[in-house]
Structure 1
Amino acid sequence: MEPLHDSELDQFDLRILEILRHEGRISVTELASRVGLSKTPCQVRMKRLIDTGYIEGFKAILNPQKLGLDHVAFAEVKLSDTREEALNAFNAAVRKIPEVEECHMIAGRFDYLLKVRTPNIRRYRHVLGEKISSLPFVANTSTNVVMQSIKENWN
């Protein structure tokens, strides 16, 4: 992992972030050992990385198939208005749709790309028709259905 234009991170910080990115439940003792620090300096560094926003939190990565959420689709959304007020209204509204796992503003032939996870195509159709299409300033949508997920979760 390369530093993102920030000279306050050294090799120990970067190694801590890399390990935690893949193993968020690792013990501080094990993390310290793998990074080459003692436990207390490792804890101090972790606290600083949290306090400065490099680490935003820790979470469980759930298995969507076991939860019956096998269907993934990417919805391309084109807005009728892309002034700041319209973008802010869309952004606020899309955050409230639980089936939308990710939402990215795109530079290209459409304005937003949404990753939507549902149990099946029927439920996706409902989410698209009743929730996404009725978001503020949505002019049209186009859907790409995932046939197989090869890599997810920024690993």
Structure 2
Amino acid sequence: MTGGLDAIDVKLLNELKENARENIASLSKKLGIPRTTVHYRIKRLVDEGIIEKFTVKPNYKKLDLGTTAFILARYDPDSGLTQREVAERIAALDGVYEVHIISGEWDMMIKVRAPSAEEVGKIVVDKLREIKGIGQTVTMVSFVTVKEEL
């Protein structure tokens, strides 16, 4: 299996990814194992750091953040900052949900959410491009999200 997990651990993780609030009794029934075993396995997965946290998946459209965009950015090595320092500054911006240092033609990939494409533009022009260490950027607005995991 995956990283020392057996088939039941994988099924349990998948159930919790779908609904982290599902109760132990329901999980026990779905997995066909005793409630105490489900409780023990969840505790072990948390203790081993396989489950880092239980979280919520917001409905971004209802929060008026229905526009998602991905921004590719080039790092400017003449900035005097490391690429990691630049990425951390980007991560601190309002509206930024993910920052990845990547390989290939671009150096970073940034995920932002905003009420509209115009607001995404404001994040890029007024905030992101003002960060020392950011070179060129290209922005791609998502039309629809087919799959997204937390």
TM (normalized to structure 2)? 0.89
* SS, match of residue 33 in structure 1: helix
Alignment partner of 1:13: what SS? helix
> Equivalent residue for 1:147?
143
Please state if 1:10 is matched with 2:6. Answer: yes
Alignment pair present for 1:31 and 2:27: yes
Retained in 2: the 8 A contact 1:93–1:136? no
Residue 45 of structure 2 corresponds to: 49
Q: Which residue of 2 aligns with 1:91?
A: 87
The yes-or-no answer on 1:137 pairing with 2:133 is: yes
Q: Is the 8 A contact 2:91 2:97 kept in 1?
A: no
**In structure 2, what residue type is equivalent to 1:38?**
P
CA apart distance, 1:25: 1.3
Give the C-alpha shift of residue 72 in structure 1: 1.5
For the residue of structure 2 that corresponds to 1:97, the secondary structure is: coil
Offset of residue 86 of structure 1: 0.8
Distance 2:94 2:28 in 1: 37
Aligned to 1:113: 109
Asked whether 1:71 is paired with 2:97, we answer: no
CA–CA distance in 2 between the matches of 1:132 and 1:47?
40
What secondary structure sits across from 2:137 in the alignment? strand
Percent identity over paired residues: 27
Aligned residues, how many?
148
Distance 1:10 1:146 in 2: 36
* Cα displacement (A) at 1:28: 0.7
Mapped to 2, the partners of 1:52 and 1:78 lie a distance apart of 36
Residues 86-118 of structure 1 show CA distances to partners (whole Å, capped at 9, x for unaligned) of 122112212212311122222111011111110
- TM superposition score normalised by structure 1: 0.86
Structure 2 residue aligned with 1:61, among 57, 63, 67?
A: 57
1:125 Cα deviation after fit: 1.7
Backbone CA RMSD of aligned residues: 1.8
